[in-house]
Structure 1
Amino acid sequence: MNDSFSFHPHRRRALCCGAAAIAGLFTSLAQAEASTPAMPWQAWPAQVADLLHQTFEGLDPVALWDVHTHLLGNGDSGSGCTIHPSMTEGWHPLERLRRAAIMQAAGVPGDALGNGGVDRAYVARLRTLAAGFPPGARWMLFAFDRALDDQARERPDWTTFHVPDAYAQQVAALTPERFGWVASIHPLRPDALDRLARALAGGALAIKWLPSAMSIDLRDRRLSTFYARLAASRTPLIVHCGEEKAVPGAGRNELGNPLLVRAPLQAGVRVIVAHCASLGQALDLDQRRPTSRPAFDLFTRLMDEPEWRDRLLGDASALFQVNRSAKVWRTVLQCADWHPRLLHGSDYPLPGVGPLYSTARLVHEGLLDANDVAPLERLRRHNPLLFDLALKRRVAWRGERLSPLVFDTRWHFESATIGIA
């Protein structure tokens, strides 16, 4: 998940100094369109129906797995989900506003309190949106572990939100034809290997880490056994790289440096870099005197290193948000040799937060036909998941589009697909 947000104490000064700008952004987030019911294809106006047919042309819905879908909640159903207190406390108005915008984008009504209202409304809306897709399309629901410090102590003060593995597994099991699940296990936990074994036995499709928020140094030698288990089981590791603002957690942005993924790659792990590290800066650790460079440039370097071509991938979630540069957009569209290694993901629920996407800017930059704007915007109001997919299928640069291979994602999780119809 990747939008502007910060409550970490180390960033208080920056937050105060930029208060006016941040307040403006969050005011915009709060203006995200209220959720409207998902609509069957036959009910769409002709222009939108045509867009949908173009979107799915040449795609196999059974192979279409969204590899980056957030599962959120506050635990009111007994799920075990938690959110940081700052997101509900009256003296943190920006954090409360951000939470309200995210929940609104996820179709959770403001009065969904108690009796499992928030947890259940979030899942119900996701099911409704998924029903707008052809049979076979699936979403990989993310668990999210708590942050730990270097001494392996849990740090609730660093934990922006927590989604237990057991809850992600439970939600996926209720609708297995639509959902799979991704475990999240901090590798410094004393029982990390036991948790990993249970997750794989329970059908986890991958492991998800957000190093800067969870405080995971990918180079830590204590992770070697965990890496060995991932490599032996052919379990992909989804790692967020680049700047992270939505989930500050431990606030250790230096751990999101894309070059650090060489450690699991060298251990034989298949690594999926979330968002292709397309936001923020990182130190170029390959230099004798490291200087700051766009994190995306460092990811590009890794993608061009031949030794990782069988193990390094990127997910395409959030790539076309307004906070990405036109250079990112053009690079991913033009690098056809990347496309077999790029995986479709939505970063749901963020496609429902209107200000995070600007079809007008994409038109201005020459990546989107102006005639596509109206049907895309209509689609976004009713089904942001369909909008996200349709947008990725329509953007182009100098005649180059994302290959259908980007949306043929199931095969990347072959070892976990046995028994899936």
Structure 2
Amino acid sequence: MAGLFSALATDAVPFRNPCGHPTLPVDDVDGEWLQRIWEGLDPAQLWDVHAHLIGTGDSGSGCWIAPSLSQWWHPVEFARKRAILNGACVDPNAIDAKEIDRAYVRRLVQLADAFPPGARWLLFAFDEAFDATGERRPDWTTFHVPDGYARAIAGERPDRFGWVASIHPCRSDALERLDRAIAGGALAMKWLPSSMAIDLRDARLRPFYDRLANARLPLIVHCGEEHAVPGAGRQDLGNPLLLREPLRHGVRVIAAHCASLGLALDLDLPRPRPAQAFDLFARLMDEAEWRELLLGDVSALFQFNRRPEVWRTVLRRQDWHGRLLHGSDYPLPGVIPLVRLPQLVRAGVLEEAHVAPLGALRNHHPLMFDLALKRLARWQGDALGVSIFATARHFAPPRPALPPEPRAPEQ
């Protein structure tokens, strides 16, 4: 969810999502134009690998949002909550009636069901922050979505949804929770280190890594700077180079957003200095030892706060495309200011002729808009390869958790 609030600071673009009905065709969107978006794609392989669940717990879900996001005297946080809920078409009546959980899911189901059969979304749980002593830190937590809730929502519509667990590895029962997640059909594990206060280098994480590797469960890690979910505020922990630690343990890692936002220290230098986080991700992608383990997702990639060089590089690097995965970062495609189509035209990665139909599509179906934009983006003839949208193949059923090793007899 990176970059949301610098977008809201401008009034140069429309703010509110009009939340049109997602049933297609949409006025001003030519059916033949939209059909071209699907050329070469297999809907059964199209799994959106980066979709958020959010709730307040008003349905008994166990979700919660930091109190500051509902307090008008914290205007930035207050705006954050309203913008995200508008992006998900949760209207003020749902907020006032305390029906946010249900309204959020209803809209997501409505959007999903407008896709061809077979397309699915991986719904993220999101664990709380913990400090280095293993103490729960609600004061560092922006929002929380329990594993059980993500599993339950996915279970209601397994034709459309799978679920992704989120377990802080410093929890005292982290390994037990991981085993339950594997047994419960989790398709991946999600961490946002800067928000959750997870240092990927911490030696105490090694048993967790070993369990992930043995289960073949991918670890989706937010890399680069994060501003929408500040949490613990540890931007240093989002450094892409820290991914080498789980990679060394044989964990398959998906770097969220391809680390496409902000700076991180180049820890490979004798005297580390700031570098573009995306450049550090590119370095890892080009290191031969990680070619079977390191992937990236392209969620949020075309937001206004990414550099044009990021867009051009991802389009140009055809050798990466077999290791890049489609993701939307839902509900952010519905937060209108985040993607500015004229800016993409000026950068040379989108044709002017596509601006009007894309804008009309976004007003009704932000998830279809997100897919269409990625299919239409070009740089000097290069486009995102079809393989990026064939993501289901990356998520084999996890192996059952290994039983605990027998303890040595006491002397």
Question: TM-score, length-normalised on structure 1?
Answer: 0.92
Write the distance in 2 (CA, Å) between the matches of 1:29 and 1:397: 25
Aligned to 1:293: 275
Give the SS at the match of 2:281: helix
Structure 1 unmatched ranges of 5 or more: 6-20
1:248 aligns with 2:233: no
Residue 38 of structure 1: how far off its partner (Å): 1.1
Aligned to 1:31: 15
Aligned residue runs from structure 1 range 214-225, under 5 A: 214-225=196-207
- After TM superposition, the structure 1 stretch with the greater mean CA deviation from structure 2, 153-162 or 112-121, is 112-121
Percent of aligned pairs with the same amino acid: 59
Give the SS at the match of 2:397: helix
1:140 aligns with 2:122: yes
Write the distance in 2 (CA, Å) between the matches of 1:260 and 1:293: 14
Residue 310 of structure 1: how far off its partner (Å): 0.1
AA at the equivalent of 2:112: A
1:327 aligns with 2:309: yes
Q: Deviations over 1:169-206 (max 9, x none)?
A: 00000010000000000001110000000001111000
1:188 aligns with 2:173: no
Aligned to 2:103: 121
Aligned to 2:156: 174
State whether residues 197 and 232 of structure 2, in contact with CA within 8 Å, keep that contact through their aligned partners in structure 1.
yes
Q: Deviations over 1:272-322 (max 9, x none)?
A: 000000000000000000010000000000000000000000000000111
Write the distance in 2 (CA, Å) between the matches of 1:305 and 1:187: 27
State whether residues 14 and 337 of structure 2, in contact with CA within 8 Å, keep that contact through their aligned partners in structure 1.
no
Aligned to 1:281: 263
Write the distance in 2 (CA, Å) between the matches of 1:380 and 1:197: 39
C-alpha RMSD of the superposition = 1.7
1:59 aligns with 2:11: no
State whether residues 271 and 313 of structure 1, in contact with CA within 8 Å, keep that contact through their aligned partners in structure 2.
yes
AA at the equivalent of 1:249: G
State whether residues 220 and 256 of structure 2, in contact with CA within 8 Å, keep that contact through their aligned partners in structure 1.
yes
Aligned to 2:406: none
Q: Deviations over 1:364-403 (max 9, x none)?
A: 1111111111110010000000000000000000000000
AA at the equivalent of 1:294: Q
Residue 234 of structure 1: how far off its partner (Å): 0.4
State whether residues 43 and 118 of structure 2, in contact with CA within 8 Å, keep that contact through their aligned partners in structure 1.
yes
AA at the equivalent of 1:77: S
Alignment partner of 1:349 out of 328, 331, 340: 331
- After TM superposition, the structure 1 stretch with the greater mean CA deviation from structure 2, 47-56 or 308-317, is 47-56
Write the distance in 2 (CA, Å) between the matches of 1:22 and 1:38: 25
Give the SS at the match of 1:38: coil
Write the distance in 2 (CA, Å) between the matches of 1:53 and 1:96: 39
Write the distance in 2 (CA, Å) between the matches of 1:115 and 1:178: 27
Give the SS at the match of 1:377: helix
AA at the equivalent of 2:297: D
1:338 aligns with 2:323: no
Write the distance in 2 (CA, Å) between the matches of 1:409 and 1:250: 31
1:405 aligns with 2:387: yes
Aligned residue runs from structure 1 range 232-271, under 5 A: 232-271=214-253
- After TM superposition, the structure 1 stretch with the greater mean CA deviation from structure 2, 216-225 or 47-56, is 47-56
Residue 97 of structure 1: how far off its partner (Å): 1.4
Residue 93 of structure 1: how far off its partner (Å): 1.6
AA at the equivalent of 2:246: P
Write the distance in 1 (CA, Å) between the matches of 2:320 and 2:140: 35
Give the SS at the match of 1:76: coil
Distance 1:178 1:116, change over 3 A: farther
Aligned to 1:104: 86
Residue 415 of structure 1: how far off its partner (Å): 2.2
Aligned residue runs from structure 1 range 152-171, under 5 A: 152-171=134-153
Q: Deviations over 1:46-67 (max 9, x none)?
A: 7432232111110000000000
Aligned to 2:374: 392
Distance 1:336 1:365, change over 3 A: same
How many pairs were matched up?
400
Distance 1:136 1:296, change over 3 A: same
Write the distance in 2 (CA, Å) between the matches of 1:224 and 1:278: 27
Alignment partner of 2:189 out of 207, 229, 252: 207
Moved over 4 A (4+): 27-30
Distance 1:96 1:48, change over 3 A: farther
State whether residues 125 and 164 of structure 2, in contact with CA within 8 Å, keep that contact through their aligned partners in structure 1.
yes
Alignment partner of 1:72 out of 49, 54, 69: 54
Distance 1:416 1:44, change over 3 A: farther
Give the SS at the match of 2:126: coil
AA at the equivalent of 1:24: A
Residue 90 of structure 1: how far off its partner (Å): 2.1
Write the distance in 2 (CA, Å) between the matches of 1:70 and 1:30: 23
State whether residues 29 and 360 of structure 2, in contact with CA within 8 Å, keep that contact through their aligned partners in structure 1.
no
AA at the equivalent of 2:117: P
Aligned to 1:367: 349
Write the distance in 2 (CA, Å) between the matches of 1:351 and 1:98: 15
Structure 2 unmatched ranges of 5 or more: 400-411
